[in-house]
Amino acid sequence: MTKIGFIGAGSMAEAMIAGLINGGVYKPNQVIVANRTNTTRLEELATKYDIITTHDKKKLVSEASIIVLAMKPKDVKSGIDGIQEFITNQLIVSVLAGISIQTITNILGKEASIIRAMPNTSATIAKSATAIAASEHVSMAQIKKCQSLFEAIGICKLVEEHQLDAVTGVSGSGPAYVYLLVEAMEKAAVEVGLDAHVARELIIQTLLGSAEMIESTKKLPSQLRKEVTSPNGTTEAGISILQEHGFEDAVIACIKRATERSIELKTMFSEVLSTTEN
């Protein structure tokens, strides 16, 4: 019976676990999750999903055929330390922002089958937008296995490793930009006189409808926007305020900064590790 193991038991691990279990991709007894200290968190995950939990990473690595690295980038070294000798032919899937395949290889101290992935938390409901990049030591069969894993919890694109920083800026962090927009829309809706519950339902449907319109009509977002915007009407009046406040520039700067931060993380941790090694 093949198992999947998660080193790191936070938001991203849980999003993947929820998507995989609810989608029937893995049975609960095929999922193992480990963290370092937080026993309450492990109990919470065990109660919620009936999965196997442990503080023993070696047990996890020995039992799982896919190992997902899901700790924070700053914890990559401590997360991997101690498992090196138990890595044989498992597939390692890292979801860590900014941490390169080379850095993981350096910490492992040997070549291994490593795939870097950038999913997002919508994996919870099988709607993740994921991109993956593989090292040269990964076989086509392993890439396909990883693609199937992420396609079971959303969509999955194969990209070059250097493009993962941009993926992180666009879709890894992306849900948070949308949630911020919704927070602002909800606040405004109440200020202009709507009941908060009604506002939430209207906003959710507006988001779902807009996303589906882009997907199903195949029209450009700019065309769809024109179709909403009557000359001298309400939309034009509203959008002029967004433009006055530099909405588009802010979104572009946001994605560029998040992408740049992913590159910074890579540099920061490859430097930290080479300092540690020296």
Ligand X SMILES: NC(=O)C1=CN([C@@H]2O[C@H](COP(=O)(O)OP(=O)(O)OC[C@H]3O[C@@H](n4cnc5c(N)ncnc54)[C@H](OP(=O)(O)O)[C@@H]3O)[C@@H](O)[C@H]2O)C=CC1
Ligand Y SMILES: O=C(O)[C@@H]1CCC=N1
Is the distance from CB of 84 to CB of 76 less than 8 angstroms? Answer: no
Q: Taking CB under 6 A as the rule, does residue 128 contact ligand Y? A: no
Residue type, 208: L
Q: Which member of 97, 149, 156, 167 binds ligand X (CB under 6 A)?
A: 97
Interacting residues with ligand X between 52 and 81 (CB under 6 A): 70-73, 75, 78-79
Nearer to ligand X, 120 or 142 (CB): 120
Interface segment toward ligand Y; rule CB under 6 A; list 42-50, 106-114, 148-156, 166-174: 166-174
Q: Any idea what the Cα angle at residue 57 is, between residues 64 and 104, rounded to 5°?
A: 85
Verify binding: residue 119, ligand Y, rule CB under 6 A.
Answer: no
Residues with Cβ within 8 Å of 139's Cβ and at least 6 positions away in sequence, in order, are 113
Closest residue to ligand X: CB criterion? 10
CA–CA dist 90, 71 (Å, integer): 18
Binding-site string for ligand X from residue 101 to residue 140, where x marks contact by CB under 6 A and - marks none: -----------------xxxx-------------------
**6: phi then psi, degrees, rounded to nearest 5:** -115, 120
Question: Which residues is 133 bridged to in the sheet?
Answer: 116
Q: Exposed, middle or buried, 115 (CB in 10 Å: 0-12/13-18/19+)?
A: buried
Taking the complex as a whole, the smallest distance from the CB of residue 48 to ligand X amounts, in Å, to 14
Contact call for residue 168 and ligand Y (CB under 6 A)? yes
> Does 124 help bind ligand Y (rule: CB under 6 A)?
no
Quick check: 96 and 71 in contact, CB under 8 A?
A: yes
Smallest distance from the beta carbon of 256 to ligand X, in angstroms? Answer: 18
Q: How far apart are alpha carbons 33 and 106 in whole angstroms?
A: 24
Query: Is 123 or 273 the residue whose CB approaches ligand Y more closely?
Result: 123
Q: Which one among 21, 64, 93, 96 touches ligand X, defined by CB under 6 A?
A: 96
Long-range contacts of 134-141 (CB under 8 A, 24+ apart): 134/158, 135/101, 135/105, 137/111, 137/112, 137/113, 138/91, 138/113, 138/114, 139/113
Q: Which of residues 136-195 bind ligand X (CB under 6 A)?
A: 172
- In this chain, which of 13, 97, 101, 117 binds ligand Y, going by CB under 6 A? 97
Q: State the residues that interact with ligand Y by CB under 6 A.
A: 97, 168, 172-173
Which residues in this chain contact ligand X in the complex, by CB under 6 A? 7-13, 34-38, 41, 70-73, 75, 78-79, 95-97, 118-121, 172
